[in-house]
C-alpha cells in the first residue's frame, strides 16, 4: 500500500475495525497511528536548511557518504506521532495495574519534585567529589536506611535492576566461596522462582537445580535438607535463591530454618527481595539468616518503572559477604563523603569482586526512594506492608468463589493473590480473561507465572488502590470469570475495543521484526503488520 504525502491512507475495514469501522480508522478520540516511516520519508524534511558553504571537515574524512534513511517530519507531525502512540499505552497514572510481582503502585509526585531539584538533577557523575557532597550524603543516607530496614550489615548500591542485583549477590557469594578455597557448583532455586533467579545462577557459571515445594506452595524444608546432605562435608551447593514472600504470594515461615540448614552445609543464602513491600517495616531479612538480597527500589520504594523509568536494585549483604561487595561505594570520613573507586583504595579487609557499572548507580532513583522513605517514616512504611497485604486478601476473598485459588486453604496471602484456570469451560484459558480485562479498562494481571500453578493469574493490587477501585476491578473480574466458566464464545473474541486485537504473540516473540521494511513495490503488504496477521 503506498502512503501519500500527508501520511494518511484510507483504511480497509479489517477484523479489527469491522464493528463500527470509520473512514479514518480512528475510533472517537482514540486515534490510529501509522509507523513513523509510513508518515514521513527520507526525501522530505521538517526543516529547511539553507545551502551551506563548504568548509574544512573536522572529523577527518569520517563524514557519512550515504543517506541515513530517516523519515523527515515537521515538529507538529513528530509531536503528534509520539503523543498518539503514548495514548495507546496503559500506565499506572491511568488506572489499576495489577501486574503480580511487579508492584505497580502509585509513584508519589513528591518524589518527582525532590528528584528534579537542581542539586540532584543537574550533576554529572564525573563532577569533583567535593562539589557533590550532598549527593554522596544522599546515597549514604539511603544505604543506611536500607541496611536498617533489612537488618543487614552492608549494601551495594550500584546494581541497576533486580536481575542485576541478583547477579551482584551471586558474584559476591562466588567470591566468598573462592576466598575460602571452596569451589562449589550448584545453586538451588524453587520451581516457582522468577526466571531471573535460575538465569542469574547459570550466568554466574552454576548448575541450577530445583528445590521441591510442598502442596501448600512453600519450600519443602525436609527435601531441601536431604539435598544438602548429598556429598556430606563436601556438599556441592554454593547457594540457595529463595523469594520471600514467594511468587505464590505466600510467606516462607521456615526461612530461618532454611538458612540455618544451608549455612550448616557450608552454603550461602540469597533472597530475592522483589516482594519486600509486603514485609517492609515488619520483618528484617537479616534476622532470617539471609546473606544477600536485592531490593527493587522501583517496586518497594515506588520509583517509576514499566516504561516510566529505569530500575535500581541495591543489594543488602550480611557480615560474611559485605567485604566482597562491588565497587564503587561511599564512605564517610571526618571531612566529608568519598566515593571509593579503586581496588587499591580499599579499606583493610575489603575484597571486592570488582565493578558492575561505570558509575555509582541510579542517582535519580536513589533520590526518589529516599524521598519516599522519609515522607512515610517508620510507621508509614509498616503501613505500606499492612495495606498491600490487606488489599490482596480483599481481592482473594472476593473472588475465590468464582476463580480457583489454589493456596487459599493455606491461609491469608501476602501482597498478591494467585488464581488458576481450573473450572473454566473446555477451551477457555487465562489469556481469555486477560484480554477481556483490557476491554474493561484494566491492565491484565501477570499470566502463566509462576509455572507451578496451571494457567496462573497473579494479581497484585498494591497498597495505593482505594477500596472503590478494588471493588470496580472485582466486579469486572467476577463477570469475566463467570463467562469463562460458562464458556461464553464472545470471550474468545476479546479485546474488541483495543487498538489491536489478538496478535500472533508467539510469532511476534520468536520472529520479531525490529527494523522497518519498505513495502514490496507491487503493493503487497510486508513488514510488521503483515507478519503479525494484520494491523
Ligand atoms: C521483578 C522481579 C525480579 C527482577 O527484577 P527487575 O528489576 O525486573 O530486574 C526478580 N524476581 C522477582 C520475584 C520479581 O518480581
d(CA 361, CA 159) in angstroms, rounded, equals 6
Decide whether any atom of ligand 1 lies within 6 Å of the 274 Cβ: yes
CATH for the 110-121+132-372 domain, from 3.40.50.720, 3.30.565.10, 3.40.640.10, 3.30.70.340: 3.40.640.10
User: 333 CA to middle of ligand 1, Å?
Assistant: 35
**What Cα–Cα distance (Å) separates residue 11 from each residue in 24, 86, 421?**
6, 21, 38
Q: What is the pLDDT of residue 8?
A: 53
Class of domain 387-508 (CATH, top level): alpha beta
User: 519 CA to middle of ligand 1, Å?
Assistant: 39
d(CA 188, CA 141) in angstroms, rounded, equals 34
The predicted model scores a pTM of 0.89
Query: Would you say the CATH fold of 387-508 matches that of 110-121+132-372?
Result: no
Q: Tell me, what DSSP letter sits at residue 99?
A: B
User: 194 CA to middle of ligand 1, Å?
Assistant: 7
Decide whether any atom of ligand 1 lies within 6 Å of the 246 Cβ: no
Residues 414, 251 contacting (CB under 8 angstroms):
yes
Q: Stretch 438-466: mean pLDDT, rounded? A: 96
Decide whether any atom of ligand 1 lies within 6 Å of the 163 Cβ: yes
Q: What is the pLDDT of residue 2?
A: 37
Q: What does the domain layout of the chain look like in residue ranges?
A: 1-49+65-88, 110-121+132-372, 387-508
User: DSSP string spanning 393-419?
Assistant: HHHHHHHTTTSB-TTGGG---SS-EEE
Q: What is the pLDDT of residue 189?
A: 96
Q: Please identify which residue in the block is written with the cell numbers 477481556.
A: 436
- Please report which confidence band the pLDDT of residue 7 belongs to, taking 50, 70 and 90 as the band edges: low
Q: Stretch 427-455: mean pLDDT, rounded? A: 96
**Which atom of ligand 1 is nearest the CA belonging to 311?**
7
**What Cα–Cα distance (Å) separates residue 39 from each residue in 46, 83, 84?**
12, 14, 13
11 has pLDDT over 70: no
Q: Stretch 250-277: mean pLDDT, rounded? A: 96
Q: Stretch 359-384: mean pLDDT, rounded? A: 97
User: 450 CA to middle of ligand 1, Å?
Assistant: 13
- Mean pLDDT, the chain, whole residue set: 90
Decide whether any atom of ligand 1 lies within 6 Å of the 103 Cβ: no
Between these two residues, 122 and 58, which has the higher pLDDT value?
122
Q: What is the pLDDT of residue 521?
A: 74
Q: Give the N- to C-terminal CA distance of the chain in Å, as an integer.
A: 13
Give 129's contacts (C-beta < 8 A, 6+ positions apart): 136, 337, 338, 339
Backbone angles phi, psi at 129, to 5 degrees: -60, -30
**What Cα–Cα distance (Å) separates residue 239 from each residue in 188, 204, 252, 262, 362?**
6, 12, 17, 7, 28
**What Cα–Cα distance (Å) separates residue 126 from each residue in 129, 367, 393?**
8, 18, 48
47 has pLDDT over 90: no
Between these two residues, 493 and 9, which has the higher pLDDT value?
493
405 has pLDDT over 80: yes
Q: Tell me, what DSSP letter sits at residue 448?
A: S
Q: Stretch 407-425: mean pLDDT, rounded? A: 95
d(CA 34, CA 1) in angstroms, rounded, equals 12
Q: What is the pLDDT of residue 40?
A: 85
What's the grid cell of residue 66?
Answer: 550515504
Residues 276, 295 contacting (CB under 8 angstroms):
yes
Residues 286, 150 contacting (CB under 8 angstroms):
yes
Q: What is the pLDDT of residue 5?
A: 45
Name the β-bridge partners of 291.
none
User: 201 CA to middle of ligand 1, Å?
Assistant: 14
Task: Give, for ligand 1, the residue of 169, 196, 356 to mutate: max count of ligand atoms closer than 8 Å to Cβ.
Answer: 196
Nearest CA to ligand 1 atom 1: 102
Decide whether any atom of ligand 1 lies within 6 Å of the 132 Cβ: no
Between these two residues, 368 and 48, which has the higher pLDDT value?
368
Decide whether any atom of ligand 1 lies within 6 Å of the 252 Cβ: no
Nearest CA to ligand 1 atom 7: 162
At 177-224, the pLDDT tens digits run 999 999 899 999 998 999 999 999 999 999 999 998 888 889 999 999
Least confident of 62-76, 147-161, 357-371: 62-76
**Which atom of ligand 1 is nearest the CA belonging to 313?**
7
386 has pLDDT over 90: yes
Nearest CA to ligand 1 atom 11: 194
Decide whether any atom of ligand 1 lies within 6 Å of the 100 Cβ: no
Between these two residues, 433 and 15, which has the higher pLDDT value?
433
At 156-169, the pLDDT tens digits run 999 999 999 999 99
Least confident of 12-26, 204-218, 269-283, 473-487: 12-26
**Nearest Cα residue to 41 out of 81, 64, 70:** 70
Q: What is the pLDDT of residue 4?
A: 39
Q: Are strands 237-243 and 268-272 parallel, antiparallel or unpaired?
A: parallel
Amino acid at each position: 500500500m503506498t502512503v501519500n504525502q500527508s501520511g494518511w491512507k484510507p483504511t480497509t475495514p479489517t477484523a479489527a475495525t469491522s464493528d463500527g469501522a470509520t473512514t479514518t480508522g480512528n475510533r472517537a478520540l482514540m486515534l490510529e497511528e501509522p509507523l513513523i516511516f509510513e508518515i514521513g520519508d527520507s526525501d522530505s524534511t521538517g526543516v529547511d536548511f539553507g545551502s551551506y558553504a563548504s568548509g574544512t571537515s573536522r572529523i577527518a574524512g569520517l563524514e557519512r557518504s550515504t543517506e541515513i534513511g530517516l523519515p523527515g517530519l515537521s515538529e507538529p507531525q513528530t509531536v503528534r506521532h509520539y503523543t498518539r502512540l503514548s495514548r495507546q499505552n496503559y500506565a499506572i497514572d491511568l488506572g489499576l495495574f495489577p501486574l503480580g510481582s511487579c508492584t505497580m503502585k502509585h509513584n508519589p509526585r513528591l518524589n518527582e519534585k525532590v528528584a528534579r531539584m537542581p542539586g540532584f538533577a543537574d550533576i554529572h557523575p564525573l563532577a569533583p567529589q567535593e562539589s557533590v557532597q550532598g549527593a554522596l550524603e544522599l546515597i549514604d543516607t539511603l544505604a543506611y536506611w536500607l541496611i536498617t530496614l533489612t537488618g543487614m550489615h552492608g549494601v551495594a548500591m550500584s546494581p541497576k535492576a533486580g536481575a542485576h542485583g541478583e547477579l551482584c549477590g551471586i558474584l559476591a557469594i562466588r567470591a566468598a566461596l573462592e576466598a575460602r578455597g571452596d569451589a562449589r557448583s550448584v545453586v538451588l532455586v524453587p520451581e516457582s522462582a522468577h526466571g531471573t533467579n535460575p538465569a542469574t545462577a547459570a550466568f554466574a557459571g552454576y548448575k541450577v537445580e530445583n528445590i521441591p515445594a510442598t502442596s501448600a506452595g512453600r519450600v519443602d524444608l525436609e527435601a531441601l535438607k536431604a539435598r544438602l546432605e548429598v556429598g556430606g562435608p563436601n556438599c556441592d551447593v554454593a547457594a540457595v535463591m529463595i523469594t520471600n514472600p514467594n511468587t505464590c504470594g505466600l510467606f516462607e515461615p521456615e526461612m530461618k530454618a532454611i538458612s540455618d540448614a544451608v549455612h550448616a552445609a557450608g552454603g550461602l543464602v540469597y533472597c530475592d527481595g522483589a516482594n519486600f513491600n509486603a514485609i517492609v517495616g515488619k520483618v528484617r531479612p537479616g534476622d532470617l539468616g539471609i546473606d544477600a538480597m536485592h531490593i527493587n527500589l522501583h517496586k518497594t520504594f515506588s520509583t517509576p518503572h514499566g516504561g516510566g523509568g529505569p530500575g535500581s536494585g541495591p543489594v543488602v549483604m550480611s557480615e560474611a559477604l559485605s567485604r566482597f561487595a562491588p565497587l564503587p561505594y561511599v564512605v564517610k570520613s571526618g571531612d566529608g563523603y568519598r566515593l571509593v573507586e579503586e581496588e587499591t583504595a580499599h579499606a583493610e579487609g575489603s575484597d571486592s569482586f570488582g565493578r558492575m557499572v561505570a558509575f555509582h548507580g541510579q542517582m535519580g532513583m536513589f533520590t526518589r526512594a529516599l524521598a519516599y522513605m522519609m515522607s512515610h517514616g517508620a510507621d508509614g512504611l509498616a503501613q505500606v506492608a499492612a495495606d498491600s497485604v490487606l488489599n490482596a486478601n480483599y481481592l482473594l476473598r472476593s473472588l475465590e468463589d468464582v476463580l480457583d485459588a489454589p493456596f487459599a486453604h493455606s491461609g491469608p496471602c501476602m501482597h498478591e493473590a494467585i488464581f488458576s484456570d481450573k473450572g473454566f469451560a473446555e477451551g477457555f484459558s487465562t489469556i481469555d480473561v486477560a484480554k477481556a480485562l483490557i476491554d474493561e479498562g484494566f491492565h491484565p494481571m501477570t499470566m502463566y507465572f509462576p509455572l507451578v500453578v496451571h494457567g496462573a493469574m497473579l494479581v497484585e493490587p498494591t497498597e495505593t488502590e482505594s477500596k472503590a477501585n478494588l471493588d470496580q476491578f472485582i466486579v469486572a473480574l467476577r463477570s469475566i470469570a463467570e463467562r469463562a466458566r460458562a464458556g461464553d464464545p464472545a470471550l474468545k473474541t476479546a479485546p474488541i475495543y483495543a487498538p489491536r486485537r489478538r496478535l500472533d504473540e508467539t510469532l511476534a516473540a520468536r520472529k520479531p521484526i525490529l527494523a522497518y521494511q519498505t513495502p514490496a513495490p507491487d503493493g503487497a503488504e510486508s513488514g510488521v503488520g503483515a507478519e503479525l496477521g494484520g494491523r
